[in-house]
A = this chain, B = another copy of it.
């Protein structure tokens, strides 16, 4: 366990991430703008992505294909990253909000899968 991959190490420039994910630079930056990823920065302010970042981007692609929007995806990550213990009191996010999210998701349900896209949101396509 101690010796697992350092998947958080910032290694990849945006050009490579574009290839790996088939996303445009615009898309990647837009997702960052909406706090779905937080790539590291070089001293000169260039984004550097970890393998985890790439995984996340592939997941985002999937969620978008499934009809979710930025807010929906963000919520998912926020929930996911909330430690189990303090997961009790859901802050001030009302039922209304949650119902709306759910609604939105249901509307787009079962969207067809276009142009040979991948299912597997994971770098295992490339590694190990």
Contacts and interface: CB of A to CB of B under 8 A. Distances in A.
Q: How many copies does the complex hold?
A: 2
Contacts of A124: 3
Contact of A11 (B5, B6, B11): B11
A127 B16 contact: no
Range, interface on chain A = 10 to 19
Interface string A89-128: 0000000000000000000000000000000000010111
Contacts of A126: 6, 9
A4 interface: yes
Interface of A: 3-6, 9, 11-13, 15-16, 42, 48, 124, 126-128
